């Protein structure tokens, strides 16, 4: 959750800071910034065997659902012998092939979203408001679900198997971290956490809403997302307002006590 994804447009800042630090003879800043190492930030490594097989298998999800059959079909299509199944089934992570396929699906979709956001021509850059950007990103990500929406329940049930939950949550929070970061979240206090948790819960509830949505182009789901994000924004403002009111009253109280004491 605390990992910093690759920030294309700020790629060299960390490196320069580190260099400046060294020039002054003092190491004034961290020397490692993950954004300086784009290769270590790849969400999916396109070259590994597992990823080649699973990426091919994604094509069969609309047909077979999030099941082993997709992998079998992909192996056949890529003209590998059946023995290479073991490369997936023995994966040291201990995840079942179905769960690996589901995670791979989530990761590739997150990567697709990131590429969309980093594309200089995407509509994303016309939006300036932080929360509108969040809303746009969530809706975009939900759009990627459309081809498999009928099979999504199978995937979600993989994610909520108790021993899979830690990895599922990690992937979910990586998604909300990306959404918050690219939207321009600059918070460095408790809001950093509450925003991410908020976006995660909005994403999950919208995805569940989407499963039941029969409206054209998932219009109702999109309204739902907008509404929820506005709600979170409102919650943020309400929190800030209450905080401000509280601090004002606390200071007033201190001042009042002081003035009473001065009077003797």
Partner 1 sequence: MSLRSGPRTLARANGSIFGTIRRISGINAVRTYANGTSNGKEDTTHFGYKTVKKEDKEKLVGDVFSSVASSYDVMNDAMSLGIHRLWKSHFINRLDAGMRPGSNRALDFLDVAGGTGDIAFGLLEHAQKKYNDTSSTMTVADINPDMLREGEKRYLNTKWNDGSDRVKFLVQNGEIMDQIEDNSKDVYTIAFGIRNFTNIQAGLNTAYRVLRPGGIFACLEFSQVENPALDYIYQAYSFSLLPLMGQLIADDRESYQYLVESIRKFPKQEEFKGMIEKAGFYVPEKGYENLTFGVASIHIGVKL
Give the binding site for partner 1 (CB under 8 A).
48-50, 72, 76, 80-87, 89-94, 97
Measure the CA–CA gap between 151 and 136, rounded to whole angstroms: 24
- In order of 46, 144, 246, the CA distances from 61 in angstroms are 19, 13, 53
Structure tokens at 150: 């009928």
Least distance from partner 1 to the Cβ atom of residue 38, Å: 19
Least distance from partner 1 to the Cβ atom of residue 42, Å: 13
Measure the CA–CA gap between 209 and 112, rounded to whole angstroms: 22
Measure the CA–CA gap between 184 and 133, rounded to whole angstroms: 9
Residue 174 or residue 221: which is nearer to partner 1 going by CB? 174
Residue 129 or residue 170: which is nearer to partner 1 going by CB? 170
Measure the CA–CA gap between 171 and 176, rounded to whole angstroms: 9
Residue 25 or residue 92: which is nearer to partner 1 going by CB? 92
Whether 72 contacts 97, CB under 8 Å:
no
Least distance from partner 1 to the Cβ atom of residue 63, Å: 14
Least distance from partner 1 to the Cβ atom of residue 20, Å: 36
Least distance from partner 1 to the Cβ atom of residue 73, Å: 9
Least distance from partner 1 to the Cβ atom of residue 249, Å: 54
Structure tokens at 220: 């109702």
Residue 46 or residue 234: which is nearer to partner 1 going by CB? 46
Least distance from partner 1 to the Cβ atom of residue 84, Å: 5
DSSP string, 176-235: HHHHHHHHT----SHHHHHHHHHHHHHHHHHHHHHHH--SGGGHHHHHHHHHHHHHHHHH
Measure the CA–CA gap between 133 and 139, rounded to whole angstroms: 10
Structure tokens at 202: 């909005």
Q: What DSSP character marks residue 35?
A: G
Whether 195 contacts 24, CB under 8 Å:
no
Residue 94 or residue 264: which is nearer to partner 1 going by CB? 94
Length of the chain, in residues: 264
Residue 65 or residue 97: which is nearer to partner 1 going by CB? 97
Residue 86 or residue 121: which is nearer to partner 1 going by CB? 86
Residue 87 or residue 204: which is nearer to partner 1 going by CB? 87
Whether 211 contacts 149, CB under 8 Å:
yes
Least distance from partner 1 to the Cβ atom of residue 243, Å: 45
């Amino acid at each position: 959750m605390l990992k910093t994804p690759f920030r294309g447009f700020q790629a060299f800042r960390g490196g320069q800071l580190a260099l400046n630090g060294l020039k002054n003879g003092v190491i004034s800043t961290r020397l490692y910034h993950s954004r300086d190492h784009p290769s270590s930030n790849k969400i999916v490594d396109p070259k590994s065997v597992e990823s080649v097989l699973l990426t091919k298998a994604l094509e069969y999800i609309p047909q077979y659902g999030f099941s082993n059959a997709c992998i079998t079909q992909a192996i056949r299509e890529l003209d590998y012998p059946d023995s290479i199944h073991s490369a997936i089934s023995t994966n040291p992570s201990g995840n079942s092939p179905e769960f690996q396929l589901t995670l791979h699906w989530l990761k590739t979709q997150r990567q697709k979203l990131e590429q969309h956001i980093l594309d200089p021509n995407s509509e994303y850059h016309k939006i300036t408001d932080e929360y509108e950007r969040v809303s746009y990103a969530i809706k975009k990500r939900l759009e990627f679900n459309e081809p498999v929406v009928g099979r999504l329940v199978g995937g979600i049930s993989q994610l909520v198997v108790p021993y899979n939950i830690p990895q599922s949550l990690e992937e979910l929070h990586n998604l909300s971290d990306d959404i918050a970061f690219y939207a321009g979240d600059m918070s460095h206090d408790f809001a950093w956490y509450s925003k991410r948790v908020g976006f995660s819960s909005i994403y999950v509830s919208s995805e569940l809403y989407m499963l039941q949505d029969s409206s054209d182009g998932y219009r109702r789901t999109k309204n739902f997302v907008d509404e929820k994000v506005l709600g979170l924004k409102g919650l943020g403002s309400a929190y800030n307002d209450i905080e401000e009111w509280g601090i004002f009253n606390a200071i007033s109280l201190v001042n009042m006590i002081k003035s009473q004491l001065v009077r003797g």
